[in-house]
Structure 1
Amino acid sequence: MNLELIKKIKEKFIEGFKKEPLLVFSPGRINLIGEHTDYNEGFVFPAAINKGIYIAIQESSLAKSSITAIDREETYEFSIENIKPLKDSKWENYVLGVIAELKKRNIIIPEFNLIFSGDIPIGAGLSSSAALENGVAFGLNEVFNLKFTKEELILISQQAEHNYVGVKCGIMDQYASMFGKLGMAFHLDCKSMESVFYTINLKEFQLLLINSNVKHSLVNSAYNERRSVCEKIAKLLNTKSLRDVCKKDLDVLKSKITEEEYQKGLYVLEENERTVQFTKALLDEDVESIGALLYESHKGLSEQYKVSCDELDFLVKEAKKFKAIIGARMMGGGFGGCTINIIEKNKKEQCVEEITRAYQEQFNHNCSVYEVTLENGTRLI
């Protein structure tokens, strides 16, 4: 818990609204393996982390609502009865979208005030958006006793992103943020919504994130385009999603789709299988195989699904130069953000120093390095 941020949002709220707020922490997430598989009803392997969004929220005493992003020094005031998406996918849409989804369910909430801050690096691929959506949904549920289950809240969060932000995301980010467990990651079946939690023991290795500190502008449009390709393939095969497709099925379509579309479909099938292999390697405590699967995943993301970028490819290529880094891949939607690395603990400093120096020389700007621990999901502070 970031005690400084908790103190900051609480004091800011009391100063502005003269009442004690409800305090909520909603974590970001990492994904060990299984990228772009969730919206194909496939498998993923995420975990909540110790970086997240901190929210102070309480009912308003005025006939209006107010939401404040402390880090941006921006406040937006509105009436619950009159909301609509703002242009250019502004941060306010993540909050407004949650309200809109509640209204669709015939839930009329009173006006409220909300202040938030966070320690998730924006654009790092750690799902600050899902953390904010979950935190708002969870906070409103608590303040106004709406009686939604956590399972219902994550669907509200997901639909908020679909309808108010315009990103047709899968359910992984919201699920991981809401249901994370301390020291554990989980293999999630995005079709049945069943999950199995595993304690993550990497022996003499640890997880390390390296943020490219770039986010190319095509990420949202490219994300939706890839989802469309997957839906096209599933439709041609008369099935709901690529989860129900095998390579033999995909091969039948070769004359009806482009090679690029074929490779995107093949990537999804292979990535699903990698999550299964990852689970076995985890149970066998085979850290070397876990690392190798991460490298394979990145190769597929870069060469088949084509959601990487020069900066991410460079970071993974540099990681391969070190025996102390047994696995690395890009993580998240792509076109920027972080790589996730499995690195030997006592060799970490040397590897990081050399990689960050090489990155600076190559791109003339810095990357950032984060150590993360696995945390419990969205909750009251």
Structure 2
Amino acid sequence: MTVTRNLFQEFSNQFEGNIDSIRHFSSPARINIIGEHVDYLGGIVLPAAINFSIQCLIRPNGKNEFRLYSLDYNRKTEIKRPFQNDSQNPWADYIAGVIIELEKIGHAIPGFDLLIQGNIPQGSGLSSSAALEVVVCYAITNVFQIPLTKEEIAVIGQKAENHFVGTKCGIMDQFIIAVGKQDYCISLNTETLKYDYHHFDLKDCEFYLINSNVKHSLKDSEYNTRREECESALKKIKNKHPNIQNLYSFLLPEKEWDTFAFTKEEIKRVKHVVGERERTTSVINGLKSGDLDSVGKQIYDSHWSLSENFEVSCPETDHLVSSLERSNAKGARMIGGGFGGCVLVLDKIANFSTTSREIEKSYQQKFGHSVNFYKFKISDGVKEITKT
């Protein structure tokens, strides 16, 4: 309650006007248990929303202007049509991108004042950008009574990031942040956007996160290059098999790949995608049956494929996963776009104290800086916070 009061007070400090008409929305961060770097390739992913969040306070201002304030950066800015990328306030680009995409489908967006504040670690791979896009879109559509479903809001968020921000992300992050449900993950077919909720029992185990504190910018990294390599491989496949719609559905055994004249980079990318498909099926079955040893093995295998075949890891996250393997944690892998960020760990709850001390010590010795450990709960997706 105190946090909410403080946010409303901060809003009134930044923008004049009636405080009673301010509305408060919140969106979560996310993890992805398995199915990494396949969400833009038609793959199945297994994400869940978690209880880190971005808060958004919004109020119509009766003007044709959009006044924005980031509490975390202590920066205030105004965006105007025609929207331009803002190098001084890059967080504002996500908001402008959402407005642009809403107006593309015929919804005129009146002016508003907006405050954002969050506790999702930046560059951690927990998708703070998607959380911002989804909460802003959900807030706008509710305040201005635009009839969009949460699934449609997720697509708007993805398009904002693809088209205006310039990152060719897939749909997974925005989708789970929109439709997440407490204590459930979803299996999402990113080609059809059909999804199912899965409740699972981790028994005496838990998931937690280790932040390598190596920050990355997807826009400036090789993320887009990986996508282009996958698109190039698919084009070669479709030349011979036009019925194959996406790389994830490519089923031919490796011994038959010579006819496609893949580059060595394309071979590695295809290996990861094909392997991730098999691993995802195994993890879903393992969670259903309670076979957490099998789930952990697939999670480890996913990391080393991301490192060696998709080449989106880094020495820091590889070191963390290797250390966790030596400590007999059940499973661990990098999550998110890569080149830093967080490692997702599956292990027995009783092991956390000893394992975390050992990891902290070895990491500090090797890299000269610390890691952060994050416990979390599986949470609901984007929602309005009602006044009490």
Could you say which TM-score interval applies, normalised by the shorter chain?
over 0.9
The structural deviation recorded for 1:331 is 0.5
The 4+ residue runs of structure 1 with deviation greater than 3 A are 216-221
The structural deviation recorded for 1:148 is 1.3
Partner of 1:168: 168
Partner of 1:342: 346
- CA 1:158–1:217: 2 relative to 1, 3 Å: closer
- Given residue 44 of structure 2, which amino acid in structure 1 is its aligned partner? F
Q: What secondary structure sits across from 2:139 in the alignment?
A: helix
Answer yes or no: is the 8 Å Cα contact 1:219–1:333 preserved in 2: no
1:41-52 maps to which residues of 2 (within 5 A)?
Answer: 41-52=42-53
Question: Which of 269, 273, 287 lines up with 1:268 in the alignment?
Answer: 273
Partner of 2:202: 202
- Taking the aligned partners of 2:139 and 2:113, their CA distance within structure 1 comes to 11
The structural deviation recorded for 1:4 is 4.8
Alignment TM-score, normalising by the size of structure 2? 0.93
Q: Are residues 1:326 and 2:342 paired?
A: no
- Taking the aligned partners of 1:380 and 1:250, their CA distance within structure 2 comes to 53
1:293-312 maps to which residues of 2 (within 5 A)?
Answer: 293-312=298-317
Which stretch shows the higher mean deviation, 249-258 or 360-369? Answer: 249-258
- CA 1:264–1:125: 2 relative to 1, 3 Å: same
Count matched residues.
377
Partner of 1:351: 355
Answer yes or no: is the 8 Å Cα contact 1:219–1:335 preserved in 2: no
Answer yes or no: is the 8 Å Cα contact 2:166–2:219 preserved in 1: no
- CA 1:292–1:13: 2 relative to 1, 3 Å: same
- Taking the aligned partners of 2:37 and 2:344, their CA distance within structure 1 comes to 16
- Taking the aligned partners of 2:248 and 2:133, their CA distance within structure 1 comes to 27
- Given residue 297 of structure 2, which amino acid in structure 1 is its aligned partner? A
Answer yes or no: is the 8 Å Cα contact 1:5–1:117 preserved in 2: no
- Taking the aligned partners of 1:36 and 1:379, their CA distance within structure 2 comes to 27
Q: What secondary structure sits across from 1:120 in the alignment?
A: coil
Answer yes or no: is the 8 Å Cα contact 1:134–1:153 preserved in 2: yes
- Given residue 245 of structure 1, which amino acid in structure 2 is its aligned partner? F
Indicate the RMSD between aligned Cα atoms, in angstroms.
Answer: 1.7
- Deviation string 1:183-230 (CA, Å, 9 cap, x unpaired) is 111111111211121113111110110000012457644111111111
- Deviation string 1:47-74 (CA, Å, 9 cap, x unpaired) is 0011110000010144422111100011
Q: What secondary structure sits across from 2:293 in the alignment?
A: helix
1:68-217 maps to which residues of 2 (within 5 A)?
Answer: 68-79=69-80, 81-87=81-87, 90-216=90-216
- Deviation string 1:85-144 (CA, Å, 9 cap, x unpaired) is 234881111000001111211211110000010011111100000000000000000110
- Taking the aligned partners of 2:232 and 2:189, their CA distance within structure 1 comes to 22
Alignment TM-score, normalising by the size of structure 1? 0.95
Partner of 1:232: 232
Gaps of 5+ in 1: none
- CA 1:303–1:11: 2 relative to 1, 3 Å: same
Partner of 2:67: 66
- CA 1:258–1:203: 2 relative to 1, 3 Å: same
The structural deviation recorded for 1:253 is 4.4
- CA 1:280–1:88: 2 relative to 1, 3 Å: farther
Answer yes or no: is the 8 Å Cα contact 1:70–1:115 preserved in 2: yes
The structural deviation recorded for 1:77 is 0.9
- Given residue 105 of structure 1, which amino acid in structure 2 is its aligned partner? I
Gaps of 5+ in 2: 239-243
Answer yes or no: is the 8 Å Cα contact 2:79–2:96 preserved in 1: no
Answer yes or no: is the 8 Å Cα contact 1:5–1:118 preserved in 2: no
Q: Are residues 1:285 and 2:287 paired?
A: no
Partner of 2:34: 33
Q: What secondary structure sits across from 1:12 in the alignment?
A: helix
- Taking the aligned partners of 1:89 and 1:237, their CA distance within structure 2 comes to 42
